[in-house]
Structure 1
């Protein structure tokens, strides 16, 4: 799939396969990236809660973005995306456990959500920026007890998740990056339950010559009026890449009949695109009775005692909705984590 003259090239696969991440590299532009296509996995994530359609759409974007970023981990661990904002959807949490497990949930105010829908332009739905409002987005890499956590935080100021991802890479990684996200609802005939699809594309400019990665300086903020801000000339290859990405339509990212390889071929065939082995994505919650007990045991004894009602403690997983019941004596006598 690299070029017409490459003896190892082949035609892009015609069969579209959902719930996979496809890494790729475009040699002629010095860019690499990933495409994610989610179908039944996204449905399984959303099925645990009775979310309104606009919340499903927003959470679908968050899941696609998290899988794009989390699937780049080359270590065992978790990648967690979380937003805390003042909008109608004030909390999103997506948890990706390498190499393939994802779970997610959202918290929203139904009255404010309805108000946002009523004030949206006629025939349009509230965009992700209006649903999130202002606050922050945190991206955390958790490698367990054996290593420190890494966390990057960016402000959400009325923009959507794509804009937040771009800001994160500009501030934290300083790698020229573009992200595209799309979510769609497939309405089935005969009154059958609809299904949801999500797609995402991430492209990063990583030339072998480091001097070519020139990013614009951050705005000087409170610098005196008249301060000259130097202009940074972007590399021609990155300019071309952004132009190609701008031609990508949402429907292409969520088209169940269009394979990821054909999508990449449409975008980059003139420059020679190579794809690598796809990675599966599975909706799976990591909660268990033992894990919940360990969390409860980490609380101080007096707090554990306060949790007891009618002789028991009931805990419901926010991600999958599964409930766990513990007898009062189990909780009160639980031993905390050992040093």
Structure 2
């Protein structure tokens, strides 16, 4: 289906909208890429990290070990050294919410948003005026910090100050960074296990995600799925068990193995194309695009917004 008034009418007719998101909705913000060719995992250089030779070998064999729970509890430095620019860039608000994030914000402002479940750790939803209680970052967020061992929270600005002072820069862009990494310790338990509240590989998803599956999903009357391949479990259970119509925004149809039906006569809707352009056009058809100030958008999103307005 093309992006037009038909889908806008579906959204207008819904009262309790759930949203499930993946990495594709944050690409326009310029968020660092982790999984694609040239991303963090593909370009990881274990020889630069503060780690034992056996730990470096594990990361050579599988770069995911840099964000694995057992690795972090044994040695915090690979995680912190790889993610240092992302952590500090988040504090500096280097990345802005996209048209997609503003679409979710508009849903909330109009009383339609039941919950947004995001697989992204960038925290961009929290930089909008969307009610934070309606946001479930099922893989955690880079924008908050806590101890992985005892759970005690640390003020994010204090944590970032410690990252800036204690963690070396393996990318060679910060001349003020220390030459050697030293521990960031928890003020409550004293262990060197403070980190952003991202979910490490091998750890459980937050209780809020399972509560949303149990309590929110049965009440939803529309599910919007955007920028995700729907292969990561258990997040994809949101799409699998939704008792309502589902709208998928993606470059290709996915989710048929979960029961999504885009065939002629099927109940679900597939909108093919770039997420940012698609949600920009949906904002237009819903009459919400003018509510999004261009200065609040990253450059690519601003260009899409301006092009849509100029084409009217």
Higher strand residue share: 1
Instruction: Report which of the two has the higher share of helix.
Output: 2
Instruction: Name which one, 1 or 2, has greater alpha-carbon Rg.
Output: 1
Specify the TM-score bucket, using the shorter chain as the normaliser.
Answer: under 0.3
TM-score, length-normalised on structure 2? 0.26
TM-score by length of structure 1 reads 0.25
